[in-house]
Chain A
Amino acid sequence: MTPTELEQLQKRAAEALSLRLQKRQVKSNGKPAERVLLICAGGACISCGEAPVWEALEKELVRNNLHDTVHMVQTGCMSACDMGPLVIVRPDNILYQHVKPEDAARIVQQHMLRDEPVTELMYRPHPEADPIPNPDEIPFFSKQVKIVLETCGIIDPENIEEYIAMEGYAALAKAVSAMTPQQVIDEVKASGIRGRGGAGFPTAIKWQMLHNAPGSEKYIICNADEGDPGAFMDRSVLEGDPHRVLEAMALAAYATGASKGFIYVRAEYPLAIRRLQIALEQARRYGLLGRRILGSDFSFGIEIRVGAGAFVCGEETALMASVQGRRGMPRPRPPFPTDSGIHDKPTSINNVETFASIPAIVRRGGKWYAGIGTEKSTGTKVFALAGNVNATGLVEVPMGTTLREIIFEIGGGIPGGKKFKAAQTGGPSGGCIPAEHLDLPLDFDSLQQIGSIVGSGGLVVMDEDSCMVDVAKFFMDFCVDESCGKCPPCRVGTKQIYKTLQKICDGKGSEDDLAILDDLCDVLRSSSLCGLGQTSPNPTMSTLRHFRDEYEAHIKGHKCPAKVCKQLLTYIINLEKCTGCSLCARNCPTDAISRIDGQRKYVIDQDKCIHCGKCHEVCRFAAVAIE
């Protein structure tokens, strides 16, 4: 294929896609109007029942003889994960949420046949509010700026022509036909984009180093070993728009002189792997990968390498070891991968999200991209919004957007009218941000200043019911499991911190333990070999910094203010509410509950109580109080 042929194909393909891209009201005119149903097939929607919905809709359309008039498309993630399964009807542009198979009849008969949208399935900010049919008017969508997720949720990820229709591979065509490799790097440099994998290293500098490295054998690696608990933006991109990543890798290879690429993707992402395989096969068939790409002298091939489930393999040197079939353990740098990587040859490693931003930068210019976000952190960032927040899912916003905007405007605030306590960014390598920093613009530098990081973009919201010591313990537990075991600070230090936190949660902590924690965090941060160890104390350090009073409450007052740490809770039976049903006593594993002599009331022997909470759980009269 030549660039001209690609352009022609783009026009043809865009036409085929036109119905989907239009947003206007349509009316049945004697016969039902032509429509398209976009059905989200992202991970969350699949797990809450996308497949039966698809089947039911298909059956219903066939039954009503509409299967030629109403088209169905399985798209990638639409990002509003807690609304799933999601269906968007175009051109009407109406969003249906929580669609169940039994809703199919209504959607088809009411909407498709009679042009009457089903209001019951539309989004409402709260149960009494008016429904908002147009997704563009829902705050969750309207406040986002989509570059990485530009076509995710619109196109069929298994059809290369749909990606081409959306100007896919146009950037690659532009580069190989009209730009020198240096010009591509310069464009990326002008965009100011920094790596989205966590460290925020300027992408153009990395590429420039690989470009300048001597020799002809060079490698490009896409790091798709997304392992932060709760982060799934890379998976969504790979599942929803795999060609975007392939195109970007080819652009990187062209710019740097690499001839071979690897995508290192974790085995836990089988759908992403399958869609990548389909995409690779299609791209090769269309001459967009392989020998003499788009008729130029540039050749580039990509192979998939499936990781075996080690978090540390997200660290570039461990990843390279794993790609080469060795045990995934990091090694010190220097030498940096751009000097000595795969097979000791120069290698550049970029994250999925970084790659996914590149085609738009090359197509629309680095300047355009630099105009989005802040001065030192340009462009957009995808966050995986989760936890105690009304709307969860993927959120792509310009860098510098405040936490408040993300949580309270896009996310719709905290459910149940509870108070915001902290937001955890960057997963196990990040920190907890307290309410006082809600108006902090989220970018690489500002987060670092308050002891957290952007990281890969996990954003967990916590309300007043979260215990910060417990949160620190949770993340440290993760690091204990995921440490590779190579260097003692990380291998032993994480375990020591975990045990100390466990002690504090159990109410056995002493003031000395806080000093020990500070001390251990310092060793880990300063002495560990790789990023995993160096950043693993961040959750502990940031909670110690912002929530020291909670630690002290555990140690001095033997109380868990959020009532999470069970060992610090006291269960007491409220005699006024107790009916003497004996359910608690029968469920108590340690026989700590006995009947008060001569009364039909029960009491807990605190010496025997192991704080398991079973009595509180089983009591039907709310007679077991927690103090």
Chain B
Amino acid sequence: MFTSAVSVRDLSKVFSRRKGLFQRRRRAALSNVSFDMGRGECVAILGQNGSGKSTLVRLLSTLLLPDGGSAHIFGHDVFKEPRKVRRLVNRVSVEASFFKKMSAAENLAYAARFYGMGPRETHAKIPVILERVGFPSARRNESMENLSRGMQQKVALARALLTSPVLLLLDEPTTGLDPRSKQEVQTFIREIREAHDSTILLCTHDMKEAEDLADRIGLLDRGELLFLEPVEDVKERYGVGTLEEAFFAATGRTYEDERTEDDEEREVFA
């Protein structure tokens, strides 16, 4: 029995880059971030570029090692038991990321093999899952390079769902999509929540998307998690009517404010 699906405590990550021959510049991408997620919950983490959202996702995906703190997924230590964690997690990121010369079906089969799915199983499941995400069945043997960005993102969703993850990490899954594709992806995320028992961590800089999809909303700013609450509680806490106003109240900046050199470096370093 797990007390929480995701438990993050004082998680910190610092990146450094060489400056000159002997000096290094260090930038904190995450500073003592702590939060819990319940099973089946959808949590959205809002933040500008370079705020630490992708670093958080990459830490939970076992692609980074932290400089401090801990993270557990369904009771497994992310950094000490990475292989057990990897069986439970999948993700969709801003870039669809596929072997471009291979078809959607071949890319999905490749990903599925790493999760222990043999040819017979993928032969049966891939057409079904592609149909579910609204991908035309007739195009499943076409090279990925011939597909639009929206189509590629649907295949990315199919890849994540094919392995039946109990924790789905969505890192700006709708960024760069046209309005129709964005709507389709968001509708599908809602369907996943209803049909599956997945816990979803959605990192986005789209406030409306966060408000529409998530049970609770967190604000990550310059590596620090300023709050993580239901949207109504956030508005009440700051006495504001919108998330934009809440961001201003919490940070003293508007969401569209120009970023400082430090912010730029934090994004580049991460």
Q: Are A and B bound to each other?
A: no
